[in-house]
């Protein structure tokens, strides 16, 4: 499209006029007085005219200065006319002098009135643009804008927050020593070693947040939790991603080393601190590949249960002293911030001694005793004594922790749910939504997952898990949305959970937890005479080297299946196992790709018709191809960070035919999603539609009004969404609408007033939304509005007539980006 230059070059026109006036004033004496006055006016304008012209170009408004340019062009013609008037033609000289006087007055008047208004408006526009860019940059850094798998997913190796309270003089001494080593030259690798549960990770969190360490390394601190199996290419890809560079395909460890060295060179002379947390002995051969001694101020800190003595600088973290252990135990056994005394000091003292100063053991056991009476404490101490309980090895620690599981408020299912957490890979964040999908089916909890979250919080309160909330939205508690909640297990606790799951014969276990290396299947699986398995929950994890076809697996009792996998650059397709189709009781299917790039999902046809919940993560799956399936029992479909084909098929099977009883559809971080298919709007029973963080999503179909049962619509952080269709007014059952951070949304349809049952609306971060339709006064059931400061004035008309309306002004808070480490 050709550019219209009609008003684009105001600065050029001004320069030509200014030069002409200065030239003519020297040669034509007859008009010198008027021309001098014009020259003075132009001299005053000169410093700002080019800047304002440039701002208009940047704001893509070349015609904004059209009126000014027209006036300047007339001035050039007028000044040139002075050269054509004969000195003796007094009549023309008089007329021309008047015209010059009028022109000078017009220029002065134009700039005194029009230009300040234009400059003020442009300044406001630029500030709005800057605010929008700032929010977009924040979203990019949190992985909510641009592809979080490629460029822009900044913050994925950010330092986790350390606990507010840390006990121990040993910790303070260790912090001082490690800080001194990191601030001096010459030390490249430091190993912090201690038994499991001693607080190595906590120590490093505290160290990395030290003001002097942050001051030296600034944005070049990368905190990597490693798994037991070395995966150097994956870690290097995450480091490249963290620094905002385009992420390459890395096939081998040698290639990863070359990319790592290049990354450090790209960072330049700035100091770099790399933390490798929880390194196993299997890493010894890989660890040296991270070391580049010729790169100045590049430091590596390793935490491990093993010493790696070849690296020389080994720091041993000792357990707490008895006094410090008592202090931590007393703090952990308190209820509601009220100090609780043990039944007597001698009993407390004996229990603390048996924990051998290990913070993890102390906190977990304290929580298990919290609020209990003396007989319960004595019973536990007796059990530990009979087992000759001591803590001299990891096995002893596990046995200690097991004691705290034996009685969780007399609710055996709580212990079961703790063991369910081991279904997910080591050192990975566990999405709360995935746990909800499993627990709702296994334990017949409420569909919304409120009880499941309550149970997860109970495990967290007992220090059996950690809860990470990546984004706290003030409306989340209203529409029961837990997409920002993640759980995480300490390695020792995960080992304990797996150990508990693996008790007894394989055929009789309630849980089947399998971690396959390459194509090595356990003997019992590969044998032809295979007995049916009794497991209700099965979790199968494969690594990058897995390629064999799946052997058959008979699981007639399985109700939930978790598949965790990785792919390499050669095998980009992951085939679902055929035995899924024969597991007729299967209700929940969780499929997660832990590779850096998405993988093609094959064998989709094996998905059974009895499934009620499906969650897919980091896979390429044509949404339309699901129309070929028979999923008449499916109630919830979740697609997270998936590539969804947008190609349409004519006269083919529709999604509404394939899953007519779908109640909830969640699509999150699917960046190729532009719109949803019209036939989704024909699923009459759909209650929740959640399309979030899909930054290319631009339109909702007009048929959205056909969703007569819809109660919740979430569109938050769809930054390219510019409008809502008029048909939203037909959503008579809609209770909650979330359009937060839809930065391109500039208007709401007038039909919004027809949402007579709407109770909540979140419009935080809607920068372009400056006014609301008058029909908002009809929203008589609206009880809660979340918006930015200054936007609340738009709700004034409704506020006057609706005393029960609560307007919450959003306070911008930094999101916790810890989840992006996965």
> Which pLDDT tens digit goes with each residue over 642-683?
988 654 445 667 888 889 999 999 999 998 888 888 889 999
User: Please, what's the b/e burial string for 663-689 (b: 16 or more CB within 10 A of its CB; e: otherwise)?
Assistant: bbbbbbbbbebeebbbbbbbbeebbbb
Which carries the bigger pLDDT value, residue 365 or residue 237? 237
At residue 774, what are phi and psi to the nearest 5 degrees? -60, -20
At residue 688, what are phi and psi to the nearest 5 degrees? -130, 130
- Decide if pLDDT at 53 tops 90: no
CATH class of segment(s) 319-407:
mainly alpha
- Decide if pLDDT at 564 tops 90: yes
pLDDT bin (cut points 50, 70, 90) of residue 9 is low
Give me 75's structure tokens: 């001035």
Give the percent of the chain with pLDDT over 70.
Answer: 80
Q: Report the pLDDT value the prediction gives residue 613, as an integer from 0 to 100.
A: 96
User: Please, what's the b/e burial string for 543-581 (b: 16 or more CB within 10 A of its CB; e: otherwise)?
Assistant: bbebeeebeebebebbbbbbbbbbbbeeeeebbbbebbe
Of 197, 194, 193, residue with least CA distance to 398: 197
Of 220, 208, 431, 199, residue with least CA distance to 315: 199
3-state class (DSSP) for residue 29: helix
Non-local CB neighbours of 620 within 8 Å, separated by 6+ positions: 598, 599, 600, 601, 642, 643, 645
Contact 747, 722 (CB under 8 A): no
- Which segment, 139-153, 295-309, 550-564, is predicted with the most confidence on average? 550-564
pLDDT bin (cut points 50, 70, 90) of residue 164 is low
- Which segment, 11-20, 326-335, 384-393, 766-775, is predicted with the most confidence on average? 766-775
Non-local CB neighbours of 195 within 8 Å, separated by 6+ positions: 305, 319, 358, 393, 394, 397
Mean pLDDT of 765-782: 90
Give me 465's structure tokens: 């898990």
Least confident of 251-265, 316-330, 386-400: 386-400
Least confident of 253-262, 305-314, 557-566: 305-314
pLDDT bin (cut points 50, 70, 90) of residue 120 is low
Any idea of the CA torsion for 444, 447, 448, 452, to the nearest 10 degrees?
10
Between CA 423 and CA 489 the distance in angstroms is 11
Which carries the bigger pLDDT value, residue 50 or residue 130? 50
Which secondary-structure segment (H or E) carries 542? strand 537-542
Which carries the bigger pLDDT value, residue 813 or residue 713? 713
Q: Taking the CB of residue 616, how many other CB atoms lie within 10 A of it? A: 21
Non-local CB neighbours of 40 within 8 Å, separated by 6+ positions: none
Of 428, 360, 525, 471, residue with least CA distance to 714: 471
Between CA 94 and CA 163 the distance in angstroms is 86
Between CA 64 and CA 45 the distance in angstroms is 17
Between CA 434 and CA 481 the distance in angstroms is 13
Which carries the bigger pLDDT value, residue 263 or residue 8? 263
pLDDT digit string, tens, across residues 701-733: 999 999 999 999 999 999 999 999 999 999 999
Whose tokens are 């040698």? That residue is 254
CATH number of this structure's domain 505-662, picked from the four choices 3.80.10, 3.40.50, 3.30.70, 2.60.220: 3.80.10
Whose tokens are 């080593």? That residue is 181
Phi-psi region at 337: left, alpha or beta (left = phi > 0; alpha = psi -120 to 50): left
Q: Taking the CB of residue 74, how many other CB atoms lie within 10 A of it? A: 15
Which secondary-structure segment (H or E) carries 75? helix 66-82
- Decide if pLDDT at 28 tops 80: no
Label residue 240 exposed, middle or buried (CB < 10 Å: 0-12, 13-18, 19+). buried
pLDDT bin (cut points 50, 70, 90) of residue 640 is very high
pLDDT digit string, tens, across residues 306-328: 888 777 788 887 778 888 888 88
Give the number of residues written for the chain. Answer: 822
Q: Report the pLDDT value the prediction gives residue 3, as an integer from 0 to 100.
A: 29
Whose tokens are 């938050």? That residue is 716
Non-local CB neighbours of 697 within 8 Å, separated by 6+ positions: 673, 674, 675, 691, 715, 718, 720, 721
Q: Report the pLDDT value the prediction gives residue 685, as an integer from 0 to 100.
A: 95
- Decide if pLDDT at 10 tops 70: no
Mean pLDDT of 746-771: 92
Q: CATH 3.80.10.10: does it fit domain 684-691+702-822?
A: yes
Between CA 534 and CA 505 the distance in angstroms is 10
Cα separation values, 273 from 190, 287, 660, Å: 11, 15, 53
Give me 729's structure tokens: 């007014």
Q: How far out from the chain centre does Cα 602 lie? A: 27
At residue 314, what are phi and psi to the nearest 5 degrees? -110, 125
231-236: long-range pairs with CB below 8 Å, 24+: 231/544, 231/566, 232/256, 232/257, 232/286, 232/289, 234/566, 234/595, 234/596, 236/260, 236/263
pLDDT digit string, tens, across residues 196-207: 777 888 888 888
Q: Taking the CB of residue 63, how many other CB atoms lie within 10 A of it? A: 13
pLDDT bin (cut points 50, 70, 90) of residue 761 is very high
CATH number of this structure's domain 169-316, picked from the four choices 3.40.50.300, 3.40.50.720, 3.10.20.30, 3.40.1160.10: 3.40.50.300
pLDDT digit string, tens, across residues 60-104: 454 555 667 778 888 888 888 888 887 777 788 878 888 888 888
- Decide if pLDDT at 822 tops 60: no
| Fold equal for 505-662 and 684-691+702-822 | yes
Least confident of 164-173, 225-234, 760-769: 164-173
Non-local CB neighbours of 468 within 8 Å, separated by 6+ positions: 429, 485, 486, 487, 488, 816, 818, 819
At residue 786, what are phi and psi to the nearest 5 degrees? -110, 125
At residue 221, what are phi and psi to the nearest 5 degrees? -100, 125
The per-residue pLDDT of the chain, averaged, comes to 79
pLDDT digit string, tens, across residues 466-487: 888 876 554 444 557 788 889 9
Mean pLDDT of 285-304: 83
Between CA 438 and CA 171 the distance in angstroms is 39
Q: Taking the CB of residue 124, how many other CB atoms lie within 10 A of it? A: 10
Give the percent of the chain with pLDDT over 90.
Answer: 22
Strand 573-575 to 599-602 pairing? parallel
Q: Report the pLDDT value the prediction gives residue 112, as an integer from 0 to 100.
A: 67
Mean pLDDT of 16-25: 80
Domain ranges of the chain: 10-139, 169-316, 319-407, 411-501, 505-662, 684-691+702-822
Between CA 521 and CA 500 the distance in angstroms is 21
Which carries the bigger pLDDT value, residue 183 or residue 663? 663
Domain spanning 411-501, CATH architecture: Orthogonal Bundle (1.10)
Whose tokens are 């230059």? That residue is 5
């Amino acid at each position: 499209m050709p550019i219209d230059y009609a008003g684009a070059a105001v600065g050029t026109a001004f320069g030509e006029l200014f030069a002409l006036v200065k030239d003519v004033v020297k040669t034509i004496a007859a008009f010198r007085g008027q021309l001098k006055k014009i020259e003075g006016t132009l001299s005053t304008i000169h410093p700002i005219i080019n800047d304002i012209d440039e701002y208009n170009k940047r704001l893509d408004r070349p015609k904004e200065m059209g009126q000014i340019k027209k006036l300047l062009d007339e001035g050039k013609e007028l000044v040139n006319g002075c050269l054509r008037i004969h000195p003796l033609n007094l009549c023309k000289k008089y007329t021309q002098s008047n015209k010059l006087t009028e022109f000078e007055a017009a220029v002065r008047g134009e700039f005194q009135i029009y230009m300040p208004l234009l400059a003020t408006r442009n300044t406001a526009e630029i500030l709005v643009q800057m605010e929008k860019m700032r929010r977009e940059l924040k979203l990019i850094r949190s992985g909510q804008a641009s592809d979080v798998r490629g460029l822009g997913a900044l913050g994925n190796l950010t330092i986790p927050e350390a606990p507010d309270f840390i006990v121990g003089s040993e910790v303070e001494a260790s912090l001082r020593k490690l800080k001194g080593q990191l601030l001096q030259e010459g030390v490249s690798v430091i190993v912090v070693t201690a038994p499991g549960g001693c607080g190595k990770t906590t120590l490093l969190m505290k160290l990395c947040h030290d003001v002097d360490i942050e001051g030296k390394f600034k944005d070049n601190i990368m905190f990597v939790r490693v798994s037991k199996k070395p995966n150097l290419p994956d870690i290097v890809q995450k480091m490249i991603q963290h620094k905002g560079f385009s992420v390459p395909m890395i096939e081998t460890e040698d290639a990863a080393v070359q990319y790592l060295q290049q990354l450090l060179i790209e960072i330049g002379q700035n100091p770099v601190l790399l933390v490798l947390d929880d390194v196993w002995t299997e890493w010894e051969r890989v660890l040296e590949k991270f070391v580049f001694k010729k790169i100045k101020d590049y430091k590596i800190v390793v935490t491990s249960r093993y010493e790696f003595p070849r690296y020389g600088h080994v720091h041993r973290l000792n357990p707490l002293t008895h006094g410090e252990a008592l202090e931590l135990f007393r703090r952990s056994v308190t209820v509601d911030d009220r100090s609780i005394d043990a039944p007597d000091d001698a009993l407390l003292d004996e229990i603390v001694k048996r924990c051998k100063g290990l913070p993890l053991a102390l906190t977990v056991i304290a929580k298990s005793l919290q609020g209990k009476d003396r007989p319960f404490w004595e019973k536990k101490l007796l059990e530990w004594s009979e087992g000759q309980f001591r803590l001299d090895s990891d096995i002893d620690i596990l046995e200690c922790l097991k004691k705290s599981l034996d009685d969780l408020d007399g609710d055996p299912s709580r212990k079961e749910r703790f063991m369910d957490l081991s279904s997910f890979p080591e050192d990975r964040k566990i999405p709360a939504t995935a746990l909800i999908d499993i627990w709702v089916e296994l334990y017949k909890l409420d569909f919304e997952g409120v009880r499941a979250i309550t149970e997860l919080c109970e495990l967290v309160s007992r220090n059996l898990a950690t809860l990470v909330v990546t984004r706290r939205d003030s409306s989340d508690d209203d529409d029961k949305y837990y997409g920002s909640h993640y759980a995480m297990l300490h390695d020792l606790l995960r080992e304990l959970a797996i150990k508990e799951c693996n008790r007894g014969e394989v055929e009789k276990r309630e849980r089947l937890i399998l971690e396959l290396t390459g194509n090595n299947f356990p003997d019992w699986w590969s044998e032809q005479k295979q007995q049916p398995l009794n497991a209700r929950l099965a979790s199968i994890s494969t690594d990058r080297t897995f390629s064999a076809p799946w052997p058959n697996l008979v699981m007639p009792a399985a109700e939930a299946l978790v598949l965790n996998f990785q792919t390499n650059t050669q095998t980009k397709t992951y085939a679902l196992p055929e035995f899924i189709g024969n597991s007729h009781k299967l209700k929940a299917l969780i499929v997660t790709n832990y590779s850096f790039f998405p993988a093609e999902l094959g064998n989709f046809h094996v998905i059974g018709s009895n499934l009620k919940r499906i969650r897919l993560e980091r896979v390429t799956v044509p949404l339309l191809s699901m129309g070929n399936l028979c999923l008449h029992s499916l109630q919830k479909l979740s697609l997270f960070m998936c590539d969804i084909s947008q190609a349409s098929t004519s006269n083919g099977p529709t999604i509404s035919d394939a899953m007519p009883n779908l109640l909830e559809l969640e699509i999150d971080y699917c960046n190729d999603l532009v719109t949803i298919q019209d036939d989704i709007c024909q699923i009459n029973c759909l209650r929740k539609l959640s399309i979030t963080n899909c930054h290319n999503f631009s339109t909702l179909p007009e048929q959205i009004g056909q969703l007569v049962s819809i109660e919740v619509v979430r569109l938050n952080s769809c930054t390219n969404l510019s409008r809502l269709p008029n048909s939203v007014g037909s959503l008579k059952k809609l209770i909650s609408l979330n359009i937060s951070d839809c930065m391109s949304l500039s208007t709401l349809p007038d039909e919004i007033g027809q949402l007579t049952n709407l109770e909540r609306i979140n419009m935080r971060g809607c920068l372009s939304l400056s006014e609301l339709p008058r029909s908002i006064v009809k929203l008589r059931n609206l009880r809660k509005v979340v918006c930015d400061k200054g936007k609340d004035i738009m709700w004034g008309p409704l506020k006057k007539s609706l005393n029960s309306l609560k307007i919450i002004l959003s306070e911008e808070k930094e999101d916790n980006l810890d989840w992006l480490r996965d």
